[in-house]
């Protein structure tokens, strides 16, 4: 095997294809990589609940894998379910964001336990690529949440939040995101995670910080890591890892900082690249 000991992957648009599934070729490559001695890390904007099934499918719970969720706000050991890193916004910060979002045509979503909370479960559509898109159903189903509504999310959020997700039509978010983040630009991390998602996390939180906080104390080195991503929120980990790989379907900004550009998420880009670095993986 090469000196790759840690394989880090974003999920949506990277590990999974457009149907939100891991193809057999990519799955087999990742299972073989673990047999060869590497550990897997899923690093996503998703909450932890939206990663667990993928981790089990890849046998990460049997092979010392890790889940980096909420864009790096939380890290969990797949085998023990131990929380290794957790950095939330303060209650006051979360409530201030949710209060400010009342000024915009966006749909904020927050989680608590098994539930995702929204203002109105029936006000759930945005127009995306010319078609109606039930964004609340998409998020709740993808992350295995039950749905609940509350009239005032800001008043309800009397607990520390790992992340505040806002959804809106891409053109609207592009035109308004600077106003959305203006009061928080120096105190929180504010970023696009898709063209219809704009998110808030604690200051200094990103995927690279989570990796650095957990993996380095365990004895892993950056040079032993390979990271795959496709979005703006993958930039920190693609720069951080010894080998940073952008998918062919990645945003241009990510491709410009990556060490390599591989095939797309529809073409088993992860398996293709791992085949170059790890023996016994067929491509």
Contact at 8 Å (CB) between 204 and 113?
A: no
Q: 46: burial class by Cβ within 10 Å (0-12, 13-18, 19+)?
A: buried
pLDDT digits (tens), the chain, 283 positions: 468 999 999 999 999 999 999 999 999 999 999 999 999 999 999 999 999 999 999 999 999 999 999 999 999 999 999 999 999 999 999 999 999 999 999 999 999 999 999 999 999 999 999 999 999 999 999 999 999 999 999 999 999 999 999 999 999 999 999 999 999 999 999 999 889 999 999 999 999 999 999 999 999 999 999 999 999 999 999 999 999 999 999 999 999 999 999 999 999 999 999 999 997 776 5
Closest to 66 measured CA to CA, from 206, 220, 214, 204: 214
Each residue's pLDDT tens digit, 131-189: 999 999 999 999 999 999 999 999 999 999 999 999 999 999 999 999 999 999 999 99
Residue 103 CA to residue 96 CA, distance in Å, equals 12
Contact at 8 Å (CB) between 191 and 232?
A: yes
Residue 164 CA to residue 109 CA, distance in Å, equals 6
- Two tokens at 198? 């704009």
Measured from the Cβ of residue 45, the count of other Cβ atoms closer than 10 Å reads: 27
- Tell me the three state secondary structure of residue 248: coil
Q: pTM above 0.85? A: yes
DSSP state, residue 126: E
């Amino acid at each position: 095997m090469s000196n790759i000991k840690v394989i880090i992957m974003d999920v949506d648009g990277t590990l999974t294809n457009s149907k939100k599934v891991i193809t057999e070729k990519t799955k087999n490559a990742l299972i073989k990589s673990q047999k060869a001695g590497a550990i897997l890390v899923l690093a996503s904007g998703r909450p932890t609940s939206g990663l667990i099934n993928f981790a089990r499918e890849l046998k990460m719970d049997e092979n010392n894998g890790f889940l980096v969720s909420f864009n790096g706000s939380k890290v969990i050991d797949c085998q023990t379910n131990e929380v290794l890193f957790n950095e939330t916004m303060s209650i006051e910060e979360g409530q201030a964001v949710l209060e400010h979002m009342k000024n915009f045509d966006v749909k904020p979503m927050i989680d608590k336990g098994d539930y995702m909370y929204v203002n109105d479960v029936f006000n759930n559509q945005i127009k995306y690529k010319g078609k109606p898109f039930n964004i609340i159903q998409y998020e709740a189903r993808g992350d295995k949440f039950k749905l609940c509504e509350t009239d005032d999310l800001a008043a309800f959020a009397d607990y520390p939040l790992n992340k505040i997700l806002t959804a809106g039509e891409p053109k609207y978010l592009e035109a308004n995101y600077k106003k959305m983040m203006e009061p928080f630009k120096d105190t929180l991390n504010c970023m696009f995670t898709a063209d219809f998602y704009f998110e808030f996390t604690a200051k200094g939180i990103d995927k690279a910080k989570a990796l650095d906080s957990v993996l380095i104390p365990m004895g892993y080195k950056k040079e032993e890591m390979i990271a795959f991503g496709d979005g703006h929120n993958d930039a920190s980990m693609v720069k951080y890892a010894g080998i940073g790989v952008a998918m062919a379907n990645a945003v241009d900004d990510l491709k410009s900082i990556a060490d390599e550009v591989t095939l797309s998420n529809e073409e088993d880009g992860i398996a293709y690249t791992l085949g170059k670095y790890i023996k016994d993986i067929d491509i």
